[in-house]
Amino acid sequence: MNKTIFPVKEKINTREHYLKVKQYLPPAKIAGGILYHRGGTTHTRDDTDVELDFRQESNFAYLSGVEAAGFHIVIVLETDTIYLVRPDIPKMEQLWKGIPEPDAALLERYSVDHILLDTQLKQFLHHLEPTVILTLDITNIDHDIYIPIAFEKRINRDHLKAAIHEARLIKFPWEISLLRYAAQMSSHAHMSLMSYCGQKYRQGQRINEAELEARFRWICSKNGLSRQCYIPIIASGPRAAVLHYTNNDKLIPNNQHALVLADAGGEYRCYGSDVTRTFPVSTRFSDEAKAIYDIVLKAQNAVLARLKPGVFWKDMHDLVVHILCNELVKIGILVGEEEELLQLGVYRAFYFHGNVGLDCHDVGGKDTNIMENTRKGFPLHLLQKPLDENMVITVEPGLYFNNVSIDAWTKNPDYKRYFDMEKIDQYRVIGGVRIEDTVLITRDGIENFTIAPKQTQDIEALMH
């Protein structure tokens, strides 16, 4: 691992992030008000003493830059004075967990004004006597231990979250460098899966989905992406049609049609990536697989070519749907006039999720009722506002031969005449295809952070 290639910057811009958040806070709350947020704490599994892997809560990571557990942040809004509150670790615990960093190092790295101990926090808040405490309502974070009961009525959970989400939507240059790095290294891990899979195929060795997941995590980790942004999806054969398949425990089929759909992205210092590649187990796309693959790629390329500030998500969604529908007619899976088919929404038998989502699903109308909206045909993660410079988004069209979905449409007497079952059976064997890139919206287009190949011939070349 070459440490020097990591985009590490030791000084974190706590102040820059906070000042941006402050812009979105109601001015009436500033005088006498404070911002208070508690970072994540470590947990143990069930009733055991097995400590669970810790990952900082995202809003706290944004506000403070601190990736370790047990910290808090207090900011006096009027004076912009930032207090970082660190855990007071007893001497005996230091024996087991190590000596904490000195305050001087924390002050320097996080560019905050003061360091406090958590054991001093309650007293300190008493002393501050804030008129309002702007905070977040995050699961599993218990504020009561630290905020004096007398201040309970001054706690305001309405404004801070919206302000942070607004601030997080447009990325700072440093954030962009982290996101770029995460997507590029994840791309390398995807390329490694392709070449590894090809090598094993040529050696006549069968492999398990679990081995590909393990390899993906290893390539990410050794480049500093120690956590995954989400549970990887390594779906081979028919499982490629299951959008959130995460079992990753089946032997990979080695017939000529079989594909591996790998949807996985590593996370670097809490900044994620979201990448999907689909490749043929046998190192060559079958004719059917190539036909479906190229439709999805065409749809993705059409979107990528049009993305820029001012573009609306919904228009991109419509563009994808138009291309998919049109192409499905061409290869004979859908039967009828394109206009009517679009109107009826029958393409949703093969395409039932949104195509453009904000990276990590972090902001912009997060969907709390995924299934319900999918049923209604609404795409997920609907971003209402137009795209803007320095947003980071994903573009992820797909086509899926999912039996639950196909049955629901083709067995419905109102719709069955729009489907050619023989053609469906011919293509059903390939499972599904998704191609997903993480891209930055630039001044006049995009920078695609995702550098793993997408053309069928390039994938085949990498696998040989």
Positions 251 through 270 that interact with its own copies (CB under 8 A): 251
**Token pair belonging to 315:** 């228009």
Q: Coil, strand, or helix at residue 443? A: coil
Q: Which residues contact 32 (CB under 8 A, 6 or more apart)?
A: 78, 130, 131, 132
> Which run of H or E residues covers position 86?
strand 81-86
Q: What would the two tokens of residue 269 be?
A: 């210092």
The nearer residue to its own copies, 79 or 205, going by C-beta atoms, is: 205
Per-residue x/- marks for its own copies, 132-151, CB under 8 A?
----xxxxxx----------
Which residues ranging from 235 to 254 are in contact with its own copies (CB under 8 A)?
A: 239, 242-247, 251
Supply 464's token pair. 């040989």
- Closest to 111 measured CA to CA, from 138, 91, 83: 83
Closest CA relative to residue 132, chosen from 39, 35, 59, 38: 35
DSSP-derived secondary structure for 331-392:
TTSB-S-HHHHHHHTGGGGT--S-SEEEGGG-SSS--S-HHHHHHTTPPSS---SPP-TT-E
Q: Which stretch binds its own copies (CB under 8 A): 97-105, 146-154, 318-326, 423-431?
A: 97-105
* 98 binds its own copies per the rule CB under 8 A: yes
Q: Which is nearer to its own copies, 315 or 372 (CB)?
A: 372
Check residue 153 for interaction with its own copies (CB under 8 A). Answer: no
For its own copies, the closer of residues 130 and 379 by Cβ is 379
Shortest distance, CB of residue 210 to its own copies, whole angstroms? Answer: 6
Helix (H) or strand (E) holding 77: none
Contact region for its own copies (CB under 8 A) — 176-184, 211-219, 275-283, 420-428?
211-219
Indicate whether 92 belongs to the interface with its own copies (CB under 8 A): yes
Q: Least CB distance from residue 303 to its own copies, whole Å? A: 22
Q: Which stretch binds its own copies (CB under 8 A): 182-190, 226-234, 312-320, 423-431?
A: 226-234
The first and second tokens of residue 297, run together, are: 């790629």
User: What residues between 273 and 302 interact with its own copies by CB under 8 A?
Assistant: none
Q: For 143, phi and psi rounded to 5 degrees?
A: -80, -20
Contact call for residue 158 and its own copies (CB under 8 A): no
Residues 300-329, interacting with its own copies (CB under 8 A)? none
Residue closer to its own copies, measured from CB, 106 or 214: 214
DSSP per-residue string spanning 4-59? GGS---SS--HHHHHHHHHHTS-GGGTTTEEEEEE-----BSTTS--BPPP---HH
- Using CA atoms, how far residue 283 sits from 116, 168, 270, in Å, is 58, 41, 34
Q: With binding defined as CB under 8 A, does residue 3 bind its own copies?
A: yes
Shortest Å, Cβ 296 to its own copies:
18
Amino acid in position 125? L
Tell me: does residue 96 bind its own copies (CB under 8 A).
yes
Residue from 78, 80, 93, 318 touching its own copies (CB under 8 A): that is 93
| Contacts of its own copies in 397-436 (CB under 8 A) | 402-405, 408
Among 7, 366, 415, 423, binds its own copies (CB under 8 A): 366
Q: Which is nearer to its own copies, 195 or 226 (CB)?
A: 226
Of 18-26, 40-48, 80-88, 112-120, which part binds its own copies (CB under 8 A)?
40-48
Strands 266-267 and 33-38, bridge-based pairing: unpaired
Q: Is 70 in the site for its own copies (CB under 8 A)?
A: no
* 112 is a contact residue toward its own copies (CB under 8 A): no
Shortest distance, position 94 Cβ to its own copies, whole Å: 5
- Name which position in 166, 288, 362, 420 contacts its own copies (CB under 8 A): 362
Nearest distance, CB of residue 308 and its own copies, angstroms: 28
Residue whose CB is less far from its own copies, 195 or 246: 246
Site for its own copies contains 224 (CB under 8 A): yes
Q: Which of 35, 57, 143, 274 binds its own copies (CB under 8 A)?
A: 57
User: Could you say whether residue 204 binds its own copies (CB under 8 A)?
Assistant: no
| Residue 90 makes contact with its own copies by CB under 8 A | yes
Q: What 3-state DSSP class applies to 400?
A: strand
CB of 155 to its own copies, least distance (A): 17
Q: Please provide the DSSP assignment of 239-303 as one string.
A: GGG-TT-----SBPP-STT-EEEEE--EEBTTB----EEEEETTSS--HHHHHHHHHHHHHHHHH
Strands 72-76 and 81-86: antiparallel
